[in-house]
Amino acid sequence: MSIDFFLPDTQSTEALAEALAQTLPERAVVFLHGELGAGKSTLARALLRALGVTGPIKSPTYALVERYPLDGGGAEAVHLDLYRIAGVDELEFLGLGDLASARLWLVEWPEKGGKALPAADLQIHLTVEGEGRRAELRANSQSARDWLVRFSKIAGLTGSS
């Protein structure tokens, strides 16, 4: 199952993130695909904000991973940017096993993570289209298919499936 949207501006990216956050499943691994400047970090940041992260949201470009507590119940979101990773070894060095129980994974440049990453529930492909962006949301698991069904009921965006 996949859904496709045109996002004319960053506000519509934020609206997409808001609707994804409101319908978030118990656990989700989200891969953010797209060239440099496609809007992956904008979407990741908006999603973290929509989930109630109030402190600074740093780009994980150098640290590779940033972790954020969600609500009071010990849940966690992790944001990875693997653009600068030298090799898959470096990921193993980071100890991703430690992150396994995170409620939400947001991974930019997942292509560089290979088998060290958990499987994606949802893949979001972003492409530059004129002044805006196109987003394609692809569900790879039952939980993500259910997510997209909930999401499409509330998303105030016009899309096609």
Ligand X SMILES: Nc1ncnc2c1ncn2[C@@H]1O[C@H](COP(=O)(O)OP(=O)(O)OP(=O)(O)O)[C@@H](O)[C@H]1O
The residues that touch Mg ion, with contacts defined as CB under 5 A, are 40-41
- 123 near ligand X, rule: CB under 6 A: no
Residue 36 binds which of Mg ion, ligand X, none (CB < 5-8 A, kind-dependent): ligand X
- 40 near ligand X, rule: CB under 6 A: yes
CB of 152 to Mg ion, least distance (A): 26
In 3D space, the residue among 90, 81, 79, 3 whose CA is nearest the CA of residue 36 turns out to be 81
d(CA 111, CA 51): 26
- 33 near ligand X, rule: CB under 6 A: no
**DSSP single-letter state for residue 39:** S
Q: In what order do the strands lie in the sheet with 159-160?
A: 65-70, 75-81, 104-108, 28-33, 122-129, 132-139, 2-7, 159-160
CB of 70 to ligand X, least distance (A): 21
Tell me the chain's radius of gyration from C-alpha atoms: 15
CB of 147 to ligand X, least distance (A): 21
Query: Dihedral angle at the C-alpha atoms of 34, 39, 45, 46, nearest 10 degrees?
Result: -120
- 127 near ligand X, rule: CB under 6 A: no
- 46 near ligand X, rule: CB under 6 A: no
- 79 near ligand X, rule: CB under 6 A: no
Helical axes 142-154 vs 10-22, angle rounded to 10°:
120
Q: Which one of residues 15, 17, 28, 34 is an interface residue with ligand X (CB under 6 A)?
A: 34
- 36 near ligand X, rule: CB under 6 A: yes
Residues forming the site for ligand X (CB under 6 A)? 7, 9-10, 12-13, 34, 36-42, 83, 108, 132-133
